[in-house]
Amino acid sequence: MSKRRVMPAGLLMCLLAAAPASAQAVAMEGVLDAPKARLSSERASGDVGRLLHWVSESGDNRRLPFAIVDKVDARVFVFDANGVLLGATPALLGVARGDVAPAGIGDRKLSSIRPDERVTPAGRFVASLGSNLAAKEVLWVDYASAVSLHRVVTNNPRENRLQRLATESALDNRISYGCINVPAAFFDDVVKPSFSGTDGIVYVLPETGPLDMVFAMDPIPK
């Protein structure tokens, strides 16, 4: 599946600096006009808040709906194109801690993937709705690594995935091969309507280093 490349905001700013004033005014539409994104009263980590501030100020989402996945807190936040929070939920993530998926993992059989390779990769991904090999609807996040955001999988009762989602702690939310599991109702009521008929951006926060290790951003206010 091909993915559309989006020019990083930093590169855009460099190009604009050398452009005539009239060209700058046209090109900056959609960057400076972005309203302040907000989390309302939803509980969120400092890294979620800092990334959201940067997305709002830079227009990095390019007027597309977007989601932020916080692996440390095991939570997903979905926003509309203007940065308005549409919903948040606990999530299940790859059992292995890390930020880079093994090379070629998307072409391997699940049975060949060791527990230490089951990583939810960090990064900025252009995401779109589609189907997996089981004809199940998913939001493809990193197609090359076969990582998607989808309804929680419950076909193995011993994994207790629904119970893991329901606990207050994030310590038991690492169970998947790398995909991001969310409650079925959240996928149906928030994710699917938000990404229907359009691409979107999914930001997966790193858990082994700072935000600017992954995202090409200017220094983020602390």
Judge contact between 63 and 81, C-beta under 8 A.
Answer: yes
Per-residue pLDDT reduced to its tens digit, 55-72: 999 999 999 999 999 999
Interior angle at CA 97, CA 216 and CA 187, nearest 5: 75
Per-residue pLDDT reduced to its tens digit, 158-173: 999 999 999 999 999 9
- Total domains in the fold of the chain: 1
Residue 123: band (very low, low, confident or very high) from pLDDT cuts 50, 70, 90: very high
Q: What is the CATH classification number for the domain harbouring 75?
A: 2.40.440.10
The range of the structural domain enclosing residue 83 comes to 63-210
Q: Could you give the dihedral angle defined by the CA atoms of residues 162, 125, 13 and 37, in that order, rounded to the nearest 10 degrees?
A: -20
**CB-based contacts of 107: which residues, under 8 Å, 6+ apart?**
none
**Residue-level pLDDT at 38:** 74
Could you tell me whether strands 137-142 and 147-151 are parallel, antiparallel, or unpaired per DSSP bridges?
antiparallel
Per-residue pLDDT reduced to its tens digit, 25-48: 333 344 433 445 678 778 899 999
The SS3 of residue 142 is strand
In a domain, residue 91? The reply is yes
Average pLDDT, the chain: 84
CA distance 200 to 202: 7
In a domain, residue 182? The reply is yes
198 token code pair: 């359009």
**Residue-level pLDDT at 15:** 30
In a domain, residue 34? The reply is no
Residue 54: band (very low, low, confident or very high) from pLDDT cuts 50, 70, 90: very high
Judge contact between 60 and 88, C-beta under 8 A.
Answer: no
Per-residue pLDDT reduced to its tens digit, 84-107: 999 999 999 999 999 998 888 888
- Examine the pLDDT at 191 and tell me if it is beyond 60: yes
In a domain, residue 31? The reply is no
In a domain, residue 171? The reply is yes
In a domain, residue 148? The reply is yes
